[in-house]
Structure 1
Amino acid sequence: MIINIITLFPNFWKNLLYYPIIKKAIKKKILKIKIHYLRNYVIGNKIDDYPYGGGHGMIIKIEPIYNCIKKLNINFNEIIFLTPDAKLFNQKIAIKLSKLKNILFICGHYKGIDQRIRDFIITKEYSIGNYVLSNGEISTLVVIDSIIRLIPGVLGNINSAFTDSFYNNNYDYEYPLYTRPYKFKNMKVPNILLSGNHKQIIKWRKLNKFIKKIKFL
């Protein structure tokens, strides 16, 4: 897979390349990540401007986005934009995207981007939640991470991805998880998990998954 990222903050992505899972994928030639600095494609010296019709904030202009994509001259499978007012991103979408070969992410900033970019350039829009972040790099990173770990060969054990609670998009809540030590500062692991009675353990896990689900509804 090749992931292209159009961004105003190329330094934001530097540490990403040292993240163990991504570093391993790049080394194994399973993944390529290409960063494109948007200011390199500006006409004149303005990357943003005031909105037509008045209002607060600055809007990213269409020209630099268009110029960058035209210069890349790549037939992308999807051109993706993360924005709060879009379809909610989920694991089912992550699975679909993980099977693509070439994806472009456009990271927003300021008040937003020119609507013509959304109407005529972007092919998919997603939201990671109904809240506003400082820049689009943060939400884009969330989506990229969820995609990369699903690519065969990236994780040491692919079953780690397949057994995740949300893998099949069933939004199944995880039961409480415990490991050693049995006792830490008077906090103990439930005795049922040490009983060896697997039928009772399964019942306990189902019950606590249900309790957890009710808690967060």
Structure 2
Amino acid sequence: MKINILTIFPQMFQPLQESMIGRAREKGILEINVVDIRDHTEDKHNRVDDAPFGGGAGMVMQYQPIITAFRENDMGGRVIYMSPRGKKLTGELAREISCEPEITILCGHYEGVDQRALDEMEAEEISIGDYVVTGGELPAMILIDASARFIDGVLSSRESALDESVYSGLLEYPQYTRPRSIDGREVPEILLGGDHGAVDLWRFREALKITRDNRPDMLEKFVKDRNFSKKEKAVLDELGIRHQ
């Protein structure tokens, strides 16, 4: 997958050289092309923004440097503008994006981007949530990381991506590792007995509790029209969770 990034702060993408994204780049699974929009401005003062027509606070990123950078670097594929007014990034959307052979991500700043640039690139707008951050770089990295996990070879196994809490329908149960006792805190005894069926049921119960308390909307979707085993139904009843 080729990932093009248009930004005025290319140094912010250093983290993409590390961890699983960095390893995927080394393997040739991901190609990441970061382009500095400022390198393509025709302004003698190296500016890429100006005041908005109609007045108002702040500045707007200009059409010319964005489109010149886009064209001169032969960018294409699915074009995405990280924007708080866009549709919300979900696991389903991240998986859809992961199937694209090439994407181009525009990172905005200031009060936004000249709409004509978005229209020219036929950009779709995607948001990471109902809040505003200082620029599009961090949202772009979130989109890249969330999507890359679905690409074969990026994680250690295909199951790693699909078994994560959000994708399984429930938030993740608590995890523990050695030592089994520290600062007076113990690992739950059920995890030490070797009864995998009991462990699975315990994890199911804990995941239900965490999802019920933190994301009741997810829990409602999870239990709807789902077939549970007798033991799972007993856990649901124990927790007072209605089911079919």
Task: Choose between structure 1 and 2 for higher RCO, CA contacts under 8 A separated by at least 6 residues.
Answer: 1
Change (3 A) 1:10 1:50: same
Matches within 5 A, 1:49-128: 49-74=50-75, 76-128=76-128
Which residue of structure 1 lines up, in the alignment, with residue 145 of structure 2? 145
Which residue of structure 2 lines up, in the alignment, with residue 212 of structure 1? 210
State the 4+ residue runs in structure 1 displaced beyond 4 angstroms: none
Q: SS state of the match for residue 176, structure 1?
A: coil
Cα distance in 2, alignment partners of residues 190 and 120 from structure 1:
58
2:6/2:104 contact within 8 Å kept: yes
2:86/2:124 contact within 8 Å kept: no
Q: SS state of the match for residue 174, structure 1?
A: coil
1:58/1:112 contact within 8 Å kept: yes
172, 182, 190: which is aligned to 1:192? 190
Cα distance in 2, alignment partners of residues 171 and 87 from structure 1:
21
Cα distance in 2, alignment partners of residues 138 and 155 from structure 1:
21
Which residue of structure 2 lines up, in the alignment, with residue 21 of structure 1? 20
Post-superposition offset of 1:29: 1.7
1:149/1:155 contact within 8 Å kept: yes
TM-score normalized by the length of structure 2? 0.80
Matches within 5 A, 1:36-47: 36-44=35-43, 45=45, 46-47=47-48
- Paired residue type of 2:208: F
1:8/1:37 contact within 8 Å kept: yes
Post-superposition offset of 1:107: 0.5
Post-superposition offset of 1:182: 1.2
Post-superposition offset of 1:15: 4.1
Which residue of structure 2 lines up, in the alignment, with residue 10 of structure 1? 10
Cα distance in 2, alignment partners of residues 207 and 185 from structure 1:
26
1:81/1:122 contact within 8 Å kept: no
User: How large is the RMSD of aligned CA atoms in angstroms?
Assistant: 1.8
Which residue of structure 2 lines up, in the alignment, with residue 173 of structure 1? 171
Q: Deviations over 1:119-174 (max 9, x none)?
A: 3424321111111112111110111111222221222333222321233xx64211
For the pair 1:133 / 2:99, whether they are aligned, the reply is no
Q: SS state of the match for residue 34, structure 2?
A: strand
2:170/2:208 contact within 8 Å kept: no
Q: Deviations over 1:39-83 (max 9, x none)?
A: 122122431111111110100011111111222234x22011111
Cα distance in 2, alignment partners of residues 203 and 159 from structure 1:
20
Structure with the bigger percentage of helix: 2
TM-score normalized by the length of structure 1? 0.90
Post-superposition offset of 1:5: 0.5
Cα distance in 1, alignment partners of residues 29 and 200 from structure 2:
38
Which residue of structure 2 lines up, in the alignment, with residue 35 of structure 1? 34
Q: SS state of the match for residue 166, structure 2?
A: coil
Cα distance in 2, alignment partners of residues 42 and 186 from structure 1:
61
Cα distance in 1, alignment partners of residues 74 and 31 from structure 2:
17
